[in-house]
Structure 1
Amino acid sequence: MPPTLPTGTGAAGVAVTEVEPQGRFDLAAVQGLLAVQNLDGWLIVDHAGQNPVARSLVAVQGNASRRWFYLVPRTGEPTVLCHASEVASFANVPGMKITYTGYRDLDKILRAMLKGKKSLAMEYSPKGALPSLSRVDAGTVELVRAAGVKVRSSDGLVQFAKATWGPEGRKQHYIAVHHLVELRKDALAFIGNKLAAGSRVTEREVQQRIEKGMAMRGLVGPAPVVAFGKNSADPDYVPGPALF
């Protein structure tokens, strides 16, 4: 994940807000995309937080540690299926609420909820091609398939719902790019000055300098990869004592 600006007052005093508020997506736009992809709906499922896509798109309150399902149909109102003890956690989630109390109860109600649906999108990746998207366990996929539903990947829906920039997202991107370019210039100047003075510098020293600059500028993200020579061919390289 590239560095981003944190919520609040960011680098150089720039006010920064969240790009993607939790639990919000354009229902009409998603339903339009379902129609284009010839899908009967999008079945968003989570259990104890194992599906971060679900948690970012559905405004669940509290822990909601039991399995829940959110069916977004191609047309009409969405439906929440959750445990009876956790229905209050879905008070702010748009749609009809249905509850279950046990596994057998869940299976029966889920089948009824999915009746008439031939194909649904889920956070599932055929043969694990996209591990970061594959968040629904095989047993739950089997449960849905047992109801006569073909399960397809929600990759296009997730990209549309979570990765589309709005005006604020575009602004934050340009701000982050500006600071990253300045950090790159500073790192190269640091290396050049060291070498010009007859000193040596390690990859780790350069990484630490960039990290310090990121912190000063309010950038949030993983440690940058600083690699020299053959190490630069490794995208997961951990900077060490190698000398420039």
Structure 2
Amino acid sequence: MIRQIKRVAKISQQSSYSKITFNTNLPLSITVLEKLYQNQYKLQVGKQELKARSNRTLSVNKQYWGILEENKEAILNLSHLVQKPEIYNSNSAFLDIEFDLFAQLLEEDPTPIQTLKKQMVEKMLDATTSKEEFLTLTYMLLAQNQGIFHFPIFLEGKKILLQFEKQDLHTTVFYLAFENLGPIRGIIRENGKILDISFEVMFDKSYQLLQKELKQNDLHITVTRTDMMVPLFNPSDVLLDVKG
């Protein structure tokens, strides 16, 4: 499975924009800074602040994936907005671990999940661990208790969310979220030596990229579009349960 995730991560890296690009179907990461008036918002996109219109009511200080389109009057309009999982609203909710090191552990360690769990517990017991990092590790362990592997980490400094759940010996469901591809949900089924993989995405360009880049002779891959997607595990849901 990690090989397929690495391929998607590579696609995300290759398609990453060095500058803001308007009128494209590839999603941008958007933070709502302020509601100005009516349907006008002040946004942060990358390192740039700008103003844009949205027909959908947005929440201040929340993050979204979306498309920015510039009309003939040079007015920016937001469309295809998808609110990011709540975890994206806090940088401290993501562990300071790069994806490449994480992938290397999964590939090379004979018992990677046990090793990761041991490392998490050791880190929680370390007196130098910050309160925020301790909370993130706690959520990761709570997810594992539900059979879900929840890893909020970084890819070249950008936040990514990796989640997967083993349903049976031959079936794994997963949820991936990349800042410039949006959320991706899928299922991997082992059929002898053949892997049958299905991906669902929420943006047209993400769909086109995966269709093009994920073709392999030893894999049977399907990619479809969907309008609804949720993570396998949401820390804010656990927090609500604890408060209740």
Greater RCO (Cα-Cα under 8 Å, separation 6 or more): 1
Structure with the bigger percentage of helix: 1
Structure with the bigger percentage of strand: 2
TM-score by length of 1: 0.24
TM-score by length of 2: 0.24
